[in-house]
Structure 1
Amino acid sequence: MRLFPPIIDNEKCPLTINNTLLQSCYLRYTEWACGVAIYTGNETKSGMSRGTAESKLTAADSMIDKLTVAIFVFQIAVVLLLGLAGNIWKDSHGRKLWYLMYPAERPWYDFLVIPLRFELLCSIMIPISIKVWL
């Protein structure tokens, strides 16, 4: 790959700090400029001095987000509580009932079945379209 020689008016023109324009500089009273892009991106001085962008959420969006988290925590608490109660009831009373036909040997995933059923039942607590409604 051949790079062009930095020659202006038959003189070599090296890149130095004296003829370097930084990212946030403005050229005034200049008809044209010829240059090379160096040190571009977020790792430059002006790129690193930028602050974090402000959140553009409305008050309703932040309220919906907080309520969604609260409902989700409540849902997990309900699932754990009812799953534990369901497993205790199944071990104490449910295995004695012939029409439920629980197997004599318990599979390794037996303690997960009832909480997962409650999770499916409680999954409608947070509708998918909650942000569209408000």
Structure 2
Amino acid sequence: MSRLPVCLRLPHRLFALIVAALGLLCAGPAVAQEEQSTAPYAYRQLEDPAKEEKAQALMETLRCLQCQGQSIADSDAPIAGSMRSLVRERIAAGEDPEAIRGWLIERYGDYVSYAPQLTSLTWPLFAVPAFLILLAVLLLRRRFRRGGEQ
């Protein structure tokens, strides 16, 4: 017989249950991993090098909606793969890259583009920095003129 105290002896069923629970806990992260996009052109380039170059140039200027810090060309997120495939399919069909960009902006909003459009809502984003730089130049110029007079 075993010399372990009764409180330290685990029944076989309880031991099996603990091992199974630990196995499920370890398997959780593997199940949680994202799958890659199944879109046809997500990871495959176009046959025509000129069209692929156009597609790559456009994809570099479009932001991944999931990663937010990467372009769709650099991101491995499933939505970025779907967007890459969509861009390549439309370029292959002969559509203009700016028309594709316009469609994506219409669908996902201005945030999808790294090159924001100048609209009535976005003009302050462009005007305020220019105004602040102009103000700083005027103040510095005025200060240096005063210093030279003394």
Same fold by TM-score greater than 0.5: no
Whose helix fraction is larger, Structure 1's or Structure 2's?
2
Which structure exhibits the higher relative contact order, with contacts defined as CA atoms closer than 8 Å and separated by 6 or more residues? 1
TM-score (ref. length: structure 2): 0.20
